């Protein structure tokens, strides 16, 4: 083994990261079960009343962000430790349809000259091919 490998194997931070990976892997599985429960509750509420719980919608958004943080840590994309070591992601209220309608921006494209119809592609012209000259019998013969 090289010296780099030996130092990484003996490093306390490497083994501490393993403990966090196991902990956050278990939490990720539990978060999936919680998400499934929220899904069932929201469906039943929407089925009976026509609309889901607003509080669970905002918690679901925070849970989605938490899952993103977990995946980023587990896949080594981030070194920031999620909850319970780090802070819980803030709950964000869901946008209503009227708020979405206000955010629409329409951009019109203008052209400075009238458009011309597209020209058909030009066909390549064929070149006349030259026939090779027949070799002369006297040249290049080596009859000695």
User: For residue range 11-62, what is the model confidence (pLDDT) as tens digits?
Assistant: 898 899 999 999 999 999 999 999 999 999 999 999 999 999 999 999 999 9
Q: Which residue has the higher pLDDT, 10 or 26?
A: 26
Asked if 52 and 45 count as a contact pair (C-beta separation under 8 A), the reply is: yes
**Rounded distance between C-alpha atoms, residue 18 and residue 135, angstroms:** 80
- Which structure tokens are listed for 79? 């070194």
Q: What is the DSSP string of 41-61?
A: HHHHHHHHHSS--HHHHHHHH
pLDDT of residue 65: 94
Tell me, yes or no, if the pTM score tops 0.75.
no
Between CA 87 and CA 53, with CA 81 as vertex, the angle to 5 degrees is: 45
- Which structure tokens are listed for 62? 């925070």
């Amino acid at each position: 083994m090289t010296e780099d490998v030996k130092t990484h194997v003996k490093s306390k931070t490497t083994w501490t990261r393993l403990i966090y990976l196991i902990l956050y892997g278990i939490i990720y599985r539990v978060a999936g079960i919680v998400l499934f429960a929220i899904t069932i509750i929201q469906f039943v509420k929407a089925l009976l009343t026509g609309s889901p719980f607003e509080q669970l919608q905002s918690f679901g958004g925070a849970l989605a962000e938490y899952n993103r943080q977990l995946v980023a840590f587990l896949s080594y994309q981030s070194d920031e430790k999620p909850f319970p070591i780090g802070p819980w992601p803030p709950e964000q209220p869901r946008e209503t349809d009227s708020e979405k309608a206000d955010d629409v921006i329409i951009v019109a494209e203008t052209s400075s000259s009238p458009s011309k119809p597209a020209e058909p592609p030009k066909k390549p012209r064929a070149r006349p091919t030259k026939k090779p000259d027949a070799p002369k019998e006297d040249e290049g013969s080596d009859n000695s």
